[in-house]
Structure 1
Amino acid sequence: TRHLQAHLDHIRDYCQKWRLRISASKTEALFLTRRYITNIHKIKLEDRELTWQSQVKYLGVTLDKKLLFKAHIQNTITQAKRTKGALLPLLKYNNPLTINLKTILYKSLIRPIITYASQTWITAAHTQIQNTNTTQCINRLILNKYRGPNTRHYYRIEHIQEEVNLPTITYLCTEAARTFLKRCRENKSPTINTIWAANEGNTWFTGHLLPGPQIE
């Protein structure tokens, strides 16, 4: 915290020199560590003490102090389900919209909520990543293949995914992360190259555990 305070003072002096103003009341502090720390020294910005938070939201991504991204994934799933509820009248079986148009609604309004900034949280726990696939139950609604009193067969989710011709959320997020790291490796900036070097041995990015286009 001593070094952090020194950098904050340097930023304050720079802003004062160029007549820039920092809103200390809107500034949050997050101490990133996986160790159990009970007492963290307070830091100040423009004579205002910053309270250490357990999690903060930055550019739409919820960051927790251990970078587990559990809260972010749960929040995006909840938001996607709310959007699904708002679009329910358009997705019901008795709506005249075609399956193709319903699929476009899902791909343009619901799926981006989950996949947003996936390059950041794709390294979260495997169980958390798999939870994102629960939003794909909307495909049953699109095809009207729920199990009911008039349905003799139970439609497996993999068959439904094949019929709508959509990859899983896990596959999309992993592919986006691999593409991002490939660009980092090919970038001419040494600083950006270090992003690839830090994840070079990660099996999610090297492809050893990459989910294939097959349905989960």
Structure 2
Amino acid sequence: MEISTTKTKSLVVSKEPIRCKLVVEDRPIEQVMRVAYLGVQISSNQDRTREIKEQANKAARISGALGDIVWNNKHMRNQTKVRIYKTIVRPIMTYGIETRADTKVMKNALRTAEMKVLRNVLGLTLRDKRRNEDIRSECGVPDVVRWGRNRRRLWNAHVERMGDGRIAKIVRDGTPGTRRPLGRPPKRWRDSWTSISQEA
């Protein structure tokens, strides 16, 4: 196997920045703080906030491109527009939602991006002063955060059916053997859909 030293990058996952010098054939490997892999942003400090905002921005750009063709089309039913939203826009801003634990900032970003699209579907603006719940009810679309929470439950059931030797199941059931660092712990994936403090 040949390794291209110009294309290869290194990333250290740590709460504090750590310098790790790697050399292959007397050529140093560039260390990065963030890398995109299969559409998911992997950062050294495991902060997913920027990833959510980038996905929301991508969804907003797609929604803007569909504005004159779909959202403002008077000859198209709202149900058809909602199906286009579910098929094209929502998958972009929720990619990888099954495997991450959303924080309050992430939830707000997703809900804001979704409501922008649904208002365009119904031809509304913020000046119309329609409640978000009423707009979702008229469109027949559940809250994107609750939808994502249900997707996590489905993913957990899928992992449960896996064999004990599968990596996904080992990671889900494993517990770290080290002490937890000081400071507030990050939100666990399991707590994002099993905590009684969450919405239904």
- 1:6 matched residue in structure 2: none
Identity %, equivalent residues: 22
Shift of 1:193: 2.4
Q: Distance in 1 between matches of 2:120 and 2:43?
A: 34
Higher relative contact order (CA 8 A, sep 6+): 2
Question: Which consecutive residues of structure 1, in runs of 5 or more, have no partner in the other structure?
Answer: 1-14, 16-20
Q: Give the structure with higher Rg (CA).
A: 1
State the match for 2:79 in structure 1: 100
Q: Secondary structure at the match of 1:24?
A: coil
3-state DSSP of counterpart to 2:6: helix
Which residue number in structure 1 is paired with residue 101 of structure 2? Answer: 123
RMSD, matched Cα:
2.3
> Number of residues paired by the alignment?
186
Q: Is the 8 A contact 1:118 1:177 kept in 2?
A: yes
Question: Is this contact kept in 1: 2:71–2:81, CA < 8 A?
Answer: no
Q: Does 1:113 align with 2:92?
A: yes
- Between stretches 72-81 and 137-146, larger displacement belongs to 137-146
Map 1:51-200 → 2, pairs under 5 A: 51-93=30-72, 95-120=74-99, 122-136=100-114, 137-146=116-125, 154-190=129-165, 191-198=167-174
Does the C-alpha gap of structure 1 residues 36 and 27 become closer, same or farther in structure 2, counting only changes over 3 Å? closer
Tell me how far apart the structure 2 counterparts of residues 101 and 201 of structure 1 sit (CA, whole Å). Answer: 34
- Cα distance in 2 for partners of 1:206, 1:147 equals 34
Gaps of 5+ in 2: 176-187
Structure 1 position 159, deviation (Å)? 0.4
Between the aligned partners of 2:74 and 2:174, the Cα distance in structure 1 is 49
Per residue, is there more helix in 1 or in 2? 1
- 2:13 alignment counterpart: 32
How far the C-alpha of 1:36 sits from its partner, in A, is 4.3
Alpha-carbon deviation of 1:209?
Answer: 4.1
* C-alpha distance after superposition, 1:131-178 (max 9, x if no partner): 111112211121123355xx6xx2111100011111122112222222
Write the deviation string for residues 175-199 of structure 1: whole angstroms up to 9, x where unpaired: 2222212222231133432233248
Moved over 4 A (4+): 198-201
Instruction: Find the aligned partners of 1:50 and 1:209 in 2 and give their Cα distance.
Output: 45
C-alpha change, 1:140 and 1:34, in structure 2 (3 Å) is same
